[in-house]
Amino acid sequence: MTCLLAPRRWLIARHIAKDAHAVLLLDRAGWHTTGNLRWPKNITPILLPSRSPGLNPVEQVWQYLRINFLSNRVFDNYQDIIDSACDAWNSLISQ
């Protein structure tokens, strides 16, 4: 699982200004907490408390999308799910 995060953290590190430092907010998924991860010197990971989705900004976005666009619906097929999720996301970013 670390293969997904590994390239991203180094890519992020390359885009941080030379005199700046970044902080990444992460949940406690196993691939975020493994001791095998090495972090660039210009990034500090901050792990959110366990079982605290209310503190995770991404969870807030998903909750908003579910409540306002995706809940209480029946989808005819997989493509309808994808289309509805894309429409919901596009509505969110256009606000």
The partner residues of 24 in beta bridges, in order of sequence, read: 45
Given a contact cutoff of 8 angstroms between Cβ atoms, the answer to whether 56 and 26 are in contact is no
- Judge contact between 41 and 19, C-beta under 8 A: no
Which pLDDT tens digits describe the chain residue by residue (95 residues)?
Answer: 444 555 778 888 888 999 999 988 888 877 777 777 788 899 898 888 888 878 878 888 888 888 988 899 899 999 999 999 899 989 887 76
- Which residues face 46 on adjacent strands? 25
Could you tell me which of 39, 41, 38 has the C-alpha nearest to residue 18? Answer: 41
Global confidence as pTM: 0.54
